[in-house]
Structures are given as C-alpha cells and as structure tokens.
Amino acid sequence: MIGNDVVDLKLTKTESNWQRKGFLEKQFTDSEISEILNSTNPFVKVWLFWSMKEAAYKCYVQEHQKRFFAPKKFSCKIISDKEGVVQIESKKYFINYLMSNNYIVSVARKTKKIKMVSELIFIDKKESSTKIIDDKLLSFFTNETQLLKNDLGIPSLYQNNKKLPISVSKTHHGDYGAFAFTFQK
C-alpha cells in the first residue's frame, strides 16, 4: 500500500486560515498541537502534519476499503528532516517527505523496505492536472496499461482487464501534482 499528498504552500497561505478557532483542535492531537505551537515555523508544521496524515489515510483506505473522517486518529511523529511515522490504532505508516518554500509532498507506505517510485510535477494551468499526472504516471508502463478508479476513488493499474499487483496514489493541489507507486508483495 502507498499513499501520497502534496500541499501548495503559496496557495494554502491565501486559501486557508489554520489559526481560526478550533482548527488545530479538530485536526491534530494534543502532542501535535504542542509541536506546532512550539515550532519555529508553525505554518509549515501544520501543513507537514496535514500532508503526512493525508498520505497515511490513503494507505489505510486502500487497505480497508472504507473512507472516514477522523484526522485526530492519525498521530504524526517526525523522525528526521525527511522521515516520519503516522500511527492509527496499531498500524504504522512510514513517511518520506520533501519540503521547499513552495510545497510539501509526503509519501506513506506500510513498510520501509518496499521500493517505490514517486514524482512531483509542476502543473501547467493550460491542461488538466489529472491528465498531466495520469500521463506522467502511465509513461512508466506499457501503452496497454490503464489507470482506473474504484467506487471509493482509489486508483489501480490494469492491463488486459487484469488488475496489476501495484499500489498507486495520486494527488494535486494548486501548482503541484504528484504520484507514487510500488510493487506489492
């Protein structure tokens, strides 16, 4: 299983007010709130945790085939300047993240040892972000490969009407899109 998320920080600055009353308490655990408020850059910490939770949520939904909204059930822990862990109940998801002044992108997977491909894409507004991401993702596979979503919106790869043993995740926000995939064992 794999999940990913991207946050366009410039867009988020104009469209979101994380400092509004109740926002932090609704989205984050007490320890995450403490870490956010004590951070040298609380804005970035909010959206890093958000991105980590979203990526882990996508893994969880792939595994359990059930959607829900409960961000406080996902607990984030930063391990290094590129890695973290998100835990929900007894399950852990290992996170790799990349931050710049413009974006945060996170990729979650159930185990560290799974090999993955992950790519961040700048989105040209002249074309559909979905098409750009899908085309770039499909360029890694043969022309016969199709990208289809199930009823929950979870993407999968197919060849000759047969689902491939590959976990896929896609995301976009503002000027950025990303995809990740890994071969399942």
The mean pLDDT value for 85-107 works out to 97
Cα–Cα distance between 81 and 104 in angstroms, integer?
Answer: 12
Asked if residues 178 and 170 have their Cβ atoms less than 8 Å apart, the reply is: yes
What's the confidence (pLDDT) of residue 68?
86
**Is 168 a residue whose pLDDT tops 80?**
yes
Paired with 99 in beta bridges are 104
Q: Tell me 49's DSSP state.
A: H
What's the confidence (pLDDT) of residue 113?
86
Q: Taking all residues of the chain, what is their mean pLDDT, rounded to a whole number?
A: 94
What's the confidence (pLDDT) of residue 184?
57
Half-sphere exposure (Cβ direction) of 90: Cα atoms closer than 13 Å: 0
Report the percentage of the chain scoring pLDDT > 70.
99
Rounded to two decimals, the pTM is 0.94
The mean pLDDT value for 103-112 works out to 95
Q: What domains can you pick out in the chain, each with its CATH number?
A: 2-183 (3.90.470.20)
Which tens digits make up the pLDDT trace of 10-65?
999 999 899 999 999 999 999 999 999 999 999 999 999 999 999 999 999 999 98
Amino acid symbol at 47 = W
Asked if residues 132 and 145 have their Cβ atoms less than 8 Å apart, the reply is: no
Which tens digits make up the pLDDT trace of 117-155?
999 999 977 778 899 999 999 999 988 999 999 999 999
What's the confidence (pLDDT) of residue 157?
96
The mean pLDDT value for 59-78 works out to 92
Query: Which residues, in sequence order, are CB contacts of 159 under 8 Å at separation 6+?
Result: 141, 142, 144, 145, 146
What's the confidence (pLDDT) of residue 143?
87
